[in-house]
Amino acid sequence: MNQEETVERTPQRVLRGEKIAQFLCVSCHADNQNRLTGKRMTDVPKAFGKIYSSNITQHPTTGIGAWSDSDLLRFLRTGRRPNGSLAPAMPRFPLMADEDLRSIVAWLRSDAFPVQASEQPAPRSRYSLPVKLIAKKMFRPLPMPQKVILVPDSTDSVAFGRYVADGMVGCFNCHSAGLTRLNPLEPSRSKGYYGGGTRLIGENGKPVYSSNLTPDRETGIGRAYTRETFVRAVRWGVGHDGKPLRYPMMPHVTLTEREAGAIYDYLQTLTPARVKIPKG
C-alpha cells in the first residue's frame, strides 16, 4: 500500500466497503437515525470512563471530510489521527487486506446516507484515570505494513477463516481473556486467545462474559455447535439451542455462509481450552 494514494471509488469497492462497515463501523458510530455521527459507547465497562465514538461523516470539521484517503488508511492501520493524536478506544486493523481497507474508505467517501456530512459534533470521551495511565504507558501507534496484504484464497478454508476472524471482523478482540491483553499484530498471542471470558456490558448494563470459541467439548463450542449451527449463530444471532444470542453479540448478516463457515473451520484447528466462563 502506497504511503500517499487516492482510493478509486468503484461500485465493487463501495459495495464491499458497505458490507464490512456494517459490522465494524455502523454498530459503534451510528446514531438513532443511522448516521455515523458518533454516540455514547454504553457497552464499554464503566471502569473505562465515558467513551464516545467519533463523527465519521463527510463533514469537513466535525467529521472526517478533510482527511485524505491516505489519512484514513493510516488511521485504520495505526490508530494515529492526521494531527498526530491517538485514538485508544478505536480498533485498529493491521492485518486487514489492502483491498478490503480501500473498500472501507471508498464507502466512507460514497453517496451512502450514513456517511453524508453532518455537523453534529460527538462529545469528547472522558477516560478514567487508570485508562489514561495505561494508555500513556502502553498505547502506541501500530506500524504500517511493509508488504502487500492479500485476502487468502477462499478455497483454503482454514486460512481464509483465520483472515475473516482475525483480520477482518476481529472476533478475538471480544473472545479472548481481556480487552487490555490483546495483541493486534499477532492475535494468537493475545491472552486467552478465543478462550473467552472478557467482561462486556449487555442489555440494561448487566455484565456479559464472552464465550469460549475453542473446540473444547465442555466449555467451548466442540460439542454444542456444528458448522451449520455456528454459521446460523454468527449470521443470524441464534444459538445452538434456538434462543437469541445476548447483546453485545450482534448478527453479522453481511457475512456470507462461506465466510462464517470458514471461521468455524479455523476455530476447529485451535487447541481446546477448558475455561470456566462466569455466568452474566
Q: Which among 17, 18, 110 has a CA at the least distance from the CA of 65? A: 110
CA–CA separation, 259 vs 117, rounded Å?
Answer: 32
Give the Cα separation of 139 and 79 in Å (integer).
10
pLDDT at 193: 98
> DSSP letters of 173-211?
GTSSS-TTS--SSSGGGSTTTTT---EEE-GGG-EEEPP
pTM for the complete prediction?
0.92
Residue 200 φ/ψ, nearest 5 degrees = -120, 170
Q: Please list the pLDDT of the chain residue by residue as tens digits (280 residues).
A: 656 899 999 999 999 999 999 999 998 999 999 999 999 988 777 778 888 999 999 999 999 999 999 999 999 999 999 999 888 888 899 999 999 999 999 999 999 999 999 999 998 888 888 777 766 666 789 999 999 999 999 999 999 999 999 999 999 999 999 888 899 999 999 999 999 999 988 887 888 999 999 999 999 999 999 999 999 999 999 999 999 999 999 999 999 999 999 999 999 999 999 998 988 7
